Amino acid sequence: MATTDPTLLAPPTIEVEGGADVIGRSPGQLFWMRFRKDRAAFLGLGFIGFLILIAFIAPLISKLVGHGPNDLYSNMTDSIGLPKGPTGKFFFGADQNGRDVFVRTVYGTRTSLLVAVVATSIAVATGVTLGTVAGFFRGWVDTLISRIIDIMLSLPLLLFAIGIASACSLSPKGCFGGFVKPGRGLVIFIIALFSWTYIARVVRGQVLSIRERQFIDASRSLGAGNGRIMFREILPNLVAPIIIYSTLIIPANVLFESYLSYLGLGLPPDVPSWGGMISDATRYYQVAWWMMVFPGLFLLFTTLSFNLLGDGLRDALDPRGGR
């Protein structure tokens, strides 16, 4: 009769010096353990949380202050139309229209986050889909998508953005058969159009590697179709890079929205945006510093926070990757 050593079936216990056992941890636990040690990322996360909060409660803040973002206060400009500085009621001073810079900065948070997050979501969805398809199918599909990505990346981004924004603003019908109309939709479209390529290229590279692994062969041998393999087997393995790149694309898109608004090609002037506010301020910086400083600081800290968070997530999710 054969006998089995029961100790062979039990999980190995490794004793280390001091008698403590090594504890098995899930990937989530490992991520959290590493992430919480990154104080800068935590600070960024905290500021982003703060931004999200004030974006949500912007109307409440406006109500408490007693000024709407587009309320015009003629007493807040002097006789030749120069804006007046911070007061007890106008914490950040007024702009050239006599509007409250504080309330507009708060509302600008809402605009920047909304435009950046929506545009980033569209860009990520597009980039992930096309990158996955290109990497998975390879051949002419990969060639076609990769060359499109190359062409997009080689375009002078800002010039094309300006051109599209101008062309689509010439009539209320917009452009592309009315698909894109002047205003917020146009800005989101332009940002998404020029930012999907980065993530598509990253995803394609990852998919090319993953599709060669044995579990993909196993899945195919069990009868899984291409769609299932791509989106149920491969895609879950790409969550980490997608999250990391998304957090890094968001601040770039916040800045992109600001560029367009700065150039007067973004949102209508009655939609508060930091870029638009800074653009207005450039004419007045010698006499009204507050118009530039406050939205500028919010823009700076927002992009910094998202970048710190993105770096922290990368370090936590991919500890082997070097900076």
Partner 1 sequence: MIKREGVVAHRKMIRVAAILTILVLMTAACSSKKDEGTGKPKTGGIFRVQLKTFRWGGGGFDPSSTYSAYSWTLYSNLMIRSLLGYRHVAGDAGNQTIPDLATDNGTVSSDGLTWTFKIKPGVKFSPPINRAVKASDIVYSFERIATPSVAAGYSFYYLSTIVGMQDFYDKKATKISGITTTGDDTISFKLTQPTGDFNYRVSMPAAAPIPPEVGKCFEKQGEYGRYVVSTGPYMFDGMAKLDPTSCATLKATVPSGFDPSPTGHVKLIRNPNYDPATDTKESRENFIDGLTVEANSNVADIFAKILKNEVDGEIANETPDILQKATTTLKNQVHTNEGDRTWYFSMNLTTPPFDDIHVRRAVNFILDKAALLKLAGGSLSGVIAGHYFPPSILAGRLKDYDPFKTTNDAGDLEKAKAEMKQSKYDKNKDGLCDPGLKACGPIYSPTEQAPPFSDYIPTVKNGFAKIGLKMNIAQVADSYVPANKPANNIAFFMGGGWGKDYGDPYTFAFPLFYGPSILCENNSAYSLLGETRKQAKACKNQYPASGSVPNADKKIDDCSALAGEARLDCWAELDKYFTENVVTWIPYRFATNVDTVATTVTKYVFDQFSGYTAYAHVSLDTSKQVGA
Q: Where along the sequence are the contacts to partner 1 (CB under 8 A)? A: 70, 72, 74, 77-82, 96-99, 166, 169-172, 182-183, 263-265, 268-270, 280, 283-284, 286-288
In the complex, what is the shortest distance from the CB of residue 263 to partner 1, in angstroms, rounded to a whole number? 8
In the complex, what is the shortest distance from the CB of residue 190 to partner 1, in angstroms, rounded to a whole number? 14
* Residue number with CB closer to partner 1 (152 or 263): 263
DSSP string covering 108-159 = HHHHHHHHHHHHHHHHHHHHHHHHHHHHHH-HHHHHHHHHHHHHHHHS-HHH
* Residue number with CB closer to partner 1 (69 or 251): 69
* Residue number with CB closer to partner 1 (160 or 301): 160
Helix (H) or strand (E) holding 73: none
Contact in structure between 43 and 308 (CB atoms under 8 Å): yes
* Residue number with CB closer to partner 1 (103 or 130): 103
In the complex, what is the shortest distance from the CB of residue 303 to partner 1, in angstroms, rounded to a whole number? 24
In the complex, what is the shortest distance from the CB of residue 117 to partner 1, in angstroms, rounded to a whole number? 24
Q: Cα separation of 27 and 204, whole Å?
A: 24
In the complex, what is the shortest distance from the CB of residue 170 to partner 1, in angstroms, rounded to a whole number? 5
* Residue number with CB closer to partner 1 (161 or 229): 161
Q: Residue 313: is it exposed, middle or buried by C-beta count within 10 angstroms (0-12/13-18/19+)?
A: buried
Q: Cα separation of 281 and 283, whole Å?
A: 5
Which phi and psi angles does 83 have, rounded to 5°? Answer: -70, 155
